Amino acid sequence: MTQEAHVTQGPLTTEAGAPVADNQNSETAGVGGPVLVQDQLLLEKLAHFNRERIPERVVHARGAGAYGTFTVTRDVSQWTRAKFLSEVGKETETFLRFSTVAGNLGAADAVRDPRGWALKFYTEEGNYDLVGNNTPVFFIKDAIKFPDFIHTQKRDPYTGSQEADNVWDFWGLSPESTHQVTWLFGDRGIPASYRHMNGYGSHTFQWNNEAGEVFWVKYHFKTDQGIKNLTQDEANRLAGEDPDSHQRDLREAIERGDFPSWTVQVQIMPAADAANYRFNPFDLTKVWPHEDYPPIEIGKLELNRNPENIFAEVEQSVFSPAHFVPGIGPSPDKMLQGRLFAYGDAHRYRVGINADHLPVNRPHATEARTHSRDGFLYDGRHKGAKNYEPNSFGGPHQTDRPLWVGSAVTGATGDHAAPSHAEDSDFVQAGTLYRLMSEGERGRLVENLAGFIAKVSRDDIAERAIDNFRQADGDFGKRLEAAVQALRG
Ligand code: NDP
């Protein structure tokens, strides 16, 4: 669909539908006199304009989205009873919102930043939201650190700018960030477009089958367009010349029928493996090596329809990692647990208590049947139906079957770190990633990191940051130290 299809017929009206006689001149007391309060069209236009913006997302403010189709290509019923995954060939409508993380709503697309990957499956058992990133890992592993982390990425309260001191102070003092930071400053840290990058569910999730058996799962969406990235210099130029480059690329590709697609893979871990796996399988700063749990191809995701209105369908789209369907549930990943609360809470603040009922957000393949009512912009969809349960008048009732299977827990409550495993390390996988890169990419990685670390004002902060990379790989640390010294003199 292109914009030409959206022409409105008939005369211009007020919000109340009355015809407008003059949309060019406000009403005045005589020719050249002051404007009259009775010019309701003028007042209505100015008042509405003042209220056009809703709070922008604190993170992932800048984004673009499209609808698509997910198609199952492999029988996965041995691992999950989710109906939308139940048979080969089954199709489910989706909406995918891509984003950058740190920039404000009007920021440029071509920047070094993780990309959000928020995918909604409109399944017949309700909407399933998989809210991941274009990287399989993250900077931290406990949501209690998230507000502090984001404060270091956004604007400093005194200078009003992002500050290298804050960024590197936090990363240096949070060695668990080393893997994700190595990724971010490598070639994949600036994708050429949203179409040329992979997506990941990032967290570990639970799948459970009809028999009630539990499996832990990680999702991978591998781009069929091939990985394509921008160098720092290319990105700097493009961000200035075409700030909307990623958004434009996605819309134009779909308009010309060049539908982007991703091959969907999962890694499956039987529940019994988790306790004694060599590292904590619920740690968001780590991947599961493919040799331990090989990726299994299960489907295809294609984007094939542009939104018709960016504000209604992209800005007001909401996703929550807590939106599960039968057969899928959370893991004890502490970042995921925090996000289960934070996303719904953000939407209630940003879009309102009825956000889930907007056309882009509501279930498309079933209906929401709740006893919640009213609130701002409630549309009366329940008409006169009873608004409580139990009741003697019919209406929706509970199923008595939980979506996911509960886990056994032991011990006292407390501010516990996650359970330790034999090979837990904040550095090993960062080192593996460094050694997996080509020599050319390693050079660019070191150059990108050094350029940023060199801006730090204090030696101790710079040294601590470099030391994390030294622990990941000796050669990595040595080269980085030399490059930073060369720049700092
Ligand atoms: P494998 O060799 O089995 O897998 C390597 C993975 O790394 C592939 O999925 C590949 O994705 C991806 N990759 C290749 N080059 C780069 C790059 N320059 N930057 C980022 N990712 C790249 O090894 P392991 O499973 O043992 O993982 C080794 C390292 O690879 C990890 O420490 C992690 O940093 C990274 N990685 C691992 C993933 C996993 O789920 N195990 C997923 C993605 C990255 P592609 O096929 O698209 O090129």
Catalytic option among 60, 220, 323, 347: 60
Kindly provide the b/e burial profile for residues 274-303, where b requires at least 16 CB atoms within 10 angstroms of the residue's own CB: beebebbbbbbbbbbeeeebebeebbbbbb
Check whether 332 has a pLDDT greater than 80. Answer: yes
Please name which of 459, 12, 71 lies closest in space to residue 297, comparing C-alpha atoms: 71
Residue nearest atom 43 of ligand 1, based on CA coordinates: 136
Q: Is residue 68 classed as helix, strand or coil in its secondary structure?
A: strand
Atom of ligand 1 nearest to the CA of 198: 47
Q: What are phi and psi of 120, to 5 degrees?
A: -110, 125
Q: What residue ranges define each of the domains in the chain, with the CATH number in brackets? A: 63-139+194-357 (2.40.180.10), 146-173+427-489 (1.20.1370.60)
Check whether 271 has a pLDDT greater than 90. Answer: yes
pLDDT band at 1 (very low <50, low <70, confident <90, very high): low
The answer for residues whose C-beta is within 8 angstroms of residue 489's C-beta and 6 or more apart is: none
Kindly provide the b/e burial profile for residues 70-89, where b requires at least 16 CB atoms within 10 angstroms of the residue's own CB: bbbeeebeebbbbbbbeeee
Tokens encoding 209: 């089958």
Rounded to an integer, what distance in angstroms lies between the CA atom of residue 325 and that of residue 129? 9
Catalytic annotation present for 60: yes
The answer for residues whose C-beta is within 8 angstroms of residue 213's C-beta and 6 or more apart is: 271
Burial zone of 445 (CB within 10 Å; 0-12 exposed, 13-18 middle, 19+ buried) = buried
To the nearest whole number, what is the mean pLDDT of the chain? Answer: 96
pLDDT band at 7 (very low <50, low <70, confident <90, very high): confident
Mean pLDDT calculated for residue range 217-228: 98
Among 287, 423, 442, 469, the mutation site with the greatest number of ligand 1 atoms within 8 A of its Cβ is 287
Taking only the tens place, the pLDDT of each residue in 171-220 is 999 999 999 999 999 999 999 999 999 999 999 999 999 999 999 999 99
Q: Using the mean position of ligand 1's atoms as its centre, give its distance from the Cα of residue 437 in Å.
A: 9
Kindly provide the b/e burial profile for residues 186-205, where b requires at least 16 CB atoms within 10 angstroms of the residue's own CB: bbbbbbbbbbbbbbbbbbbb
Contact between 421 and 280 under an 8 Å Cβ cutoff? The reply is yes
Among 425, 432, 436, 476, the mutation site with the greatest number of ligand 1 atoms within 8 A of its Cβ is 436
Question: What's the pLDDT score for residue 253?
Answer: 98
Check whether 3 has a pLDDT greater than 90. Answer: no
Taking only the tens place, the pLDDT of each residue in 106-143 is 999 999 999 999 999 999 999 999 999 999 999 999 99
Taking only the tens place, the pLDDT of each residue in 378-432 is 999 999 999 999 999 988 999 999 999 999 999 999 999 988 898 899 999 999 9
Q: Report the pocket of ligand 1 as residue ranges, CB < 6 Å.
A: 136, 183, 186-188, 198, 222, 227, 287-290, 429, 432-433, 436-437, 441
Taking only the tens place, the pLDDT of each residue in 280-316 is 999 999 999 999 999 999 999 999 999 999 999 999 9
Provide the CB-side half-sphere exposure for 99 (13 A, CA): 28
Instruction: Please list the residues that pair with 95 across neighbouring strands.
Output: 67, 120
Residue nearest atom 46 of ligand 1, based on CA coordinates: 222
Residue nearest atom 47 of ligand 1, based on CA coordinates: 222
Question: What's the pLDDT score for residue 489?
Answer: 78
Catalytic annotation present for 309: no
Rounded to an integer, what distance in angstroms lies between the CA atom of residue 480 and that of residue 221? 32
Please name which of 130, 120, 132 lies closest in space to residue 363, comparing C-alpha atoms: 120
Rounded to an integer, what distance in angstroms lies between the CA atom of residue 65 and that of residue 291? 34
Atom of ligand 1 nearest to the CA of 223: 47
Question: What's the pLDDT score for residue 273?
Answer: 97
Q: What percent of the chain has pLDDT over 90?
A: 95
Residue nearest atom 32 of ligand 1, based on CA coordinates: 429
Among 290, 292, 297, 434, the mutation site with the greatest number of ligand 1 atoms within 8 A of its Cβ is 290
Mean pLDDT calculated for residue range 48-55: 97
**234-241 contacts, C-beta under 8 A, 24 or more apart:** 234/110, 234/190, 235/110, 235/111, 235/112, 235/190, 238/108, 238/110, 239/108, 239/109, 239/110, 239/111, 240/108
Contact between 207 and 327 under an 8 Å Cβ cutoff? The reply is yes
Contact between 166 and 151 under an 8 Å Cβ cutoff? The reply is yes
Catalytic option among 127, 133, 306, 354: 133
Check whether 366 has a pLDDT greater than 80. Answer: yes
Question: What's the pLDDT score for residue 339?
Answer: 98
Mean pLDDT calculated for residue range 77-103: 98
Residue nearest atom 40 of ligand 1, based on CA coordinates: 287
Question: What's the pLDDT score for residue 223?
Answer: 98
